[in-house]
Structure formats: C-alpha cells, structure tokens
A and B are shown apart, each in its own frame.
Chain A
Amino acid sequence: MEPQDITKLIVRTSMKDRAAFDLLYRQTSAKLFGVCLRVLSDRGEAEDALQEVYVKIWTKADRFAVSDLSPISWLVAIARNHSIDRIRSRRQPAADIEAVLEVADPSPGPEAAAVSGNEAGQIHRCLEELEDDKAAAVRGAYLKGESYAELAERYKVPLNTMRTWLRRSLMKLRECLER
C-alpha cells in the first residue's frame, strides 16, 4: 500500500470513518504489532499495547496533519513511544524472552538497507561511521527502547559514560545526515 493511501486512511479516520479505520488496521497492524513485540518482549503485553495504540490512533488521527512525518513513520512513532512508556513504567524487564529475541534481528543486512531506499541507506551509512559498539547501542536503543541504565549495565560502563557516548553518537549522526 502506498504512503499516499495510508495518508488518506488516516485523514478519513480523523473524521471518525470506521471503514477507513478498519482498513488502516488491516494494512498497518502487523507492522505496529512487530514494534510492540520487539520493545515489550512479551506477547500478552504487546497485545494490550497494540489495543491502546489503535485507540490512540482513532482519537488522535487529526494530529497527523500537523506532523511532518510520513504516514507509516507517524504510526510507528505512536506504537514505539507507547511501548517504551509502558516498558519504562514496569519494574522488571522480561529478561528471558529478551535473550531469545537477541539472536533474531540485530540490524538489517546491506540488502535491506538498499531496498528501503536512499534515506534508509543514508542512516545505515552514517551509523557505519560510528564505532561498532556505539552503532550497535544506537540501534539497540531505538529498536528495543532500552534506557541509559539498561545500556550501561549491558556494556558494563557507568551510566554517565553511556550518556556521553550516545549523545556524541547522536550529534555525529545528525552531522552526517545533514552533509
């Protein structure tokens, strides 16, 4: 489905058009469920989160018009931010499932970067300019919504070191993307 079509479905959803909302769900729920699952690492929680995400989409669809994001990026941002808020408010991460997923999908290969277009290729190129562990920390933080505290523990560095690392990496990324 083309981004243009998803835009129309979101605009129609903002007008409380249920048929459009149903179609939007059919076209996008697998991607957003993938986001919730990856961040939350727990099927039941991901299902609850996905419900809340689509309730938000129904009630806040009109906000899409004031965003500069592409429609799918806007939807993914809602699902990611909701899932991250959820995982932050819970005490213990589901460590065992986390470990299982660890093996599954660290980063897309070069082919994936190539097919998803120029922009995508560019961010992967820019990540390559960072040191390996820093690029991995950025990817891991983005995909799983890991906090500074969790990353510091995993990389066995003090929290402030982790913060400095990632902040420098983010600024380098921005510079590279703006070149």
Chain B
Amino acid sequence: MTLTGEHGPERESDDLIAAEYVLGVLSAAERQEASRRIESEPAFARLVDAWEARLSPLADAYAPAEPPQSVKAAIDRRLFASASPSSAPRAGMWASLGFWRGLAAAAVAGLAISLALPYLQPPAQPQVRLVASLAADSSNVKYLAVYDAAHHNVGLSHLSGERDQGKDFELWLIEGDKPPVSLGVIPVGTATTVSVTPSIQQQIEQGAVLAVSVEPPGGSPTGQPTGPVVATGDLKNI
C-alpha cells in the first residue's frame, strides 16, 4: 500500500513533513509551521500521530532519570499558585487575584470530585463510565465527553473549534436508525455537564453515538438537527 496511489503527491509530501517533524530534524521555523498545521488541520495531525506511533518504540532507549523534588514543587507553584506562601500581599483578600483563583479552583475541584468519585471510592455495584472524543474530518471542532452513570450526566469539555457568529452547538444522541435525540445546546470554550434521563442512559449504555451540530441560537427549532454535524464519536469504556 502506498499513500501516493491513494492520496496523490501532496499527501505524500505532507506525510514526509509529518515524519520529519516527529523525527525532530526540522528547523525552528519549519517546526513552528508544522505545529500550527497540527492545530488547524486534522488530517495532518493524524499523519503526525501515525509517525509518533511508528517511531515510539525507539523511545525505549531513553533511560529514566529521577528528577529532583524541587521540580514538582515548582510545577505546583506554577499551576496552583494560590497555595504559595509568598503569594500576593495580604493588603485585601477581596483584591487578591490568588483569592479569586482559589475560588475558581475550588469550584472546578468540586466538579472534578463529583466526576472522579467512582474512582476514588470503589462502589458497591459496578459503575459505568464511558468516554468519547467527538471530532469529524470536515471540521476542527473537538469535544471530550465523559458519561457518568452514577451521576446521571455527561460531562463535556470543549477542546477546539469555534462556531460562526450567531450560531450555537447542539449535542445529539443517535441510536441506530432512530431519529436523533437532543441533549441541548452546549457551550464553547468551557466545560459543562448535561443531565440525562434513565431512557437516555439506557441508549448510551447500548452504544448510541454522540454528535454535535451547528444550529440557530438557542438550538434547533425543529427538534431535529438542521445544520451540519461538526463532531461525532462513540463512547468507549475506560
């Protein structure tokens, strides 16, 4: 099988650039250009992924080396700065950026704990947790979806891709040949959770597919998708 036969010479040269990027031989400017394309061109990103996978066994030759403890401390300071003792002066808690960051972090942590609970406390009955990455060749819109049976919801985080001005993204559940069921309009640039009813849960657990379509503001007026589907994916057990 050759890529030339299937996709023409342009694709072939893209595959070479992907290989050179992964191998690490490109110049700084060429690497920047390749990184930009990885972000914006899903087909190119897949070529890069394929080379990462092909060459990854070479990474076995990297000898592990224990980093000094100061590195993890520095990472924690950078990511979770509000915990640092040398943070903003106590001039006024309400004016402190750290305080607001901490508040936001606490809110996020609350969400994370509710999502992660089934891991942290092994439950009495088996819990179903499924993950889907929603994407499509025709667009750069990507969402990560995590279905949590115990909490009757689907957590969604928006990874990439903008919607046009005056449009909304709407989430759908599609089971086999049945008409799609709307799970509502979903936000861009943030994470959210969508509650699901027992009948939707049943469909999810039977292998229904999630899809995102472009709709007028506020969602489809007809109850069925009216715009193009920009991302789709099936849920996999983790």
Contacts and interface: CB of A to CB of B under 8 A. Distances in A.
A20 B1 CA distance: 42
B112 A123 contact: no
Interface in A68-113: 68-70, 73-74, 76-77, 80, 84-85, 88-89, 104-105, 107-108, 112-113
Given A141-B24, A142-B23, A178-B1, A68 B67 contact: no
Nearest to A177: B54
In this complex, the member of A51, A74, A141, A149 whose beta carbon has the largest number of chain B beta carbons within 10 angstroms is: A51
Contact of B62 (A38, A65, A122): A38
22 contacts: A12-B116, A15-B115, A15-B116, A15-B155, A16-B112, A17-B115, A25-B75, A34-B65, A50-B67, A62-B144, A62-B157, A74-B52, A76-B56, A77-B22, A113-B60, A120-B60, A123-B55, A145-B24, A147-B26, A147-B27, A148-B27, A167-B19
Interface of B: 1, 15-16, 19-20, 22-28, 31, 35, 46, 49-50, 52-68, 70-72, 74-75, 78-80, 108-109, 111-113, 115-116, 119-120, 131-133, 135, 142, 144, 146, 155, 157, 159, 238
A29 B54 CA distance: 23
B67 A29 contact: yes
Contacts of A30: 64-67
Interface residues of A, number: 77
B25 A76 contact: no
Interface of A: 7-8, 11-12, 14-20, 25, 29-31, 33-35, 37-39, 47, 50-51, 54-55, 58, 62-63, 65-70, 73-74, 76-77, 80, 84-85, 88-89, 104-105, 107-108, 112-113, 116-117, 119-120, 122-124, 138-139, 141-149, 151, 166-167, 170-171, 173-174, 177-178
